[in-house]
Amino acid sequence: MTRGGSHGWIREVLGNWAAWACQRSTGSVGYSSTNILARIGGSGGTDHIPVGVQQAEVVDQAMRSLRQHDGRAWLVLMLQYLGDPRVPARRRRPLSTQEQAGALLVCSDTVIRWRVGAEQQLIDILARSADR
The Cα–Cα gap between 83 and 52 comes to 21
Q: What is the pTM of this model?
A: 0.78
Say what the pLDDT of residue 52 is: 78
The Cα–Cα gap between 25 and 132 comes to 29
Which positions ≥6 away from 69 have C-beta within 8 Å?
Answer: 121
Per-residue pLDDT of the chain (132 residues; tens, 9 = 90+): 444 446 899 999 999 999 998 888 766 555 455 554 555 555 544 444 456 788 899 999 999 999 999 999 999 999 999 999 999 988 999 999 999 999 999 999 999 999 999 999 999 999 998 887
Residue 96: which of 109, 79, 114, 120 has the closest Cα? 79
Say what the pLDDT of residue 131 is: 85
Say what the pLDDT of residue 23 is: 84
